[in-house]
Amino acid sequence: MSDIPLFFGSSTGNTETSAQIIADEFSSNHDLMVRMVNVADIEVDDLVAESDKIIVGVPTWDDGELQQDWDYLFEDIDDLDLSGKKIALFGHGDAMGYPDTYQDAIGILAEKFRELGASIVGLTSVAGYDFEESKAVEDGKFLGLCLDNDNEEDLTEPRIKSWVAQLATEF
Ligand SMILES: Cc1cc2nc3c(=O)[nH]c(=O)nc-3n(C[C@H](O)[C@H](O)[C@H](O)COP(=O)(O)O)c2cc1C
C-alpha cells in the first residue's frame, strides 16, 4: 500500500503533535506509512492525493470555525472530485471553553467532503465526552476522533491508539 497522506492544520501545535503520534502509531504497530502534510504549505488541488485513503486533522477555532489554514483552502474546495476516497478526520477542541461549538470543524469538513464524493470513516462514540452541541455529531456518533488537550490531554494517546487500530481495519 502507498503512503497514507495526513493533511493537518494547526495554529498552536496540538493537532500537529497528534498527527505525529498517529503517524508513529501506524508505522510502529500497523506497518503502514503516513506522510504528514501541513495544509499551510499546499494548494487545494493537492488534497486530491494519489491515495484512496486520506487522514485529515483540523482543530476548531473562532467559535465553531475551521482553523485558519483550512479556512483558506475551504474557499476554493468546491471543484474537487473526492469520489472513491475514504477520509478519516480527527480534531482538537476545548469542550469546557466552547461546549456549544465543540469540534464543529470536523462536522464542517465531513459534510463538504461527502458533498464532493468522499466517504467518511473512523466514526467514534460520544461516550465519555462532556459538551452541549457539536456539528461533529451525527446519529449519536462523532464523524471522527475528537481530542481535547485543553482538558484531558492524558486521554489523547490512548484515544489515538484505539482509533488507529480501528482505521487499520476500516481503510
Ligand atoms: C479563540 C479560540 C477559539 C476557540 N474556539 C473553539 C471552538 O469553537 N470549539 C472547540 O472545540 N475548540 C475551540 N478552541 C480550542 C482549540 O481548538 C484548541 O485549543 C485546540 O487544541 C487548538 O489546536 P491547534 O493547537 O492544533 O491549533 C478555541 C480556542 C481559542 C483560543
pLDDT at residue 74 in the model: 97
Please list the residues that pair with 66 across neighbouring strands. Answer: 60
Ligand 1 near 98 CB (within 6 A) = yes
pTM of the model: 0.98
Ligand 1 near 148 CB (within 6 A) = no
pLDDT at residue 50 in the model: 80
Burial of 114 (C-beta count, 10 Å sphere; 0-12/13-18/19+): middle
Q: Among 20, 96, 98, name the best residue to mutate to test ligand 1's pocket (greatest count of ligand atoms within 8 A of Cβ).
A: 98
Q: Which three cell numbers stand for residue 28?
A: 510502529
State the total domains in the chain: 1
Cα distances (angstroms) measured from residue 40 to each of 11, 36, 49, 151, 154? 10, 12, 16, 26, 28
Q: For the chain, 171 residues long, give each residue's pLDDT as a single digit of tens.
A: 579 999 999 999 999 999 999 999 999 999 999 999 999 999 999 999 788 999 999 999 999 999 999 999 999 999 999 999 999 999 999 999 999 999 999 999 999 999 999 999 999 999 999 999 999 999 999 999 999 999 999 999 999 999 999 999 999
> Could you tell me if 67 and 79 are in contact, meaning their C-beta atoms sit under 8 angstroms apart?
no
Atom of ligand 1 nearest to the CA of 103: 11
Parent domain of 19? 4-170
Report the CATH number at residue 21: 3.40.50.360
Please state, in angstroms and rounded to a whole number, the distance separating the CA atoms of residues 118 and 141: 18
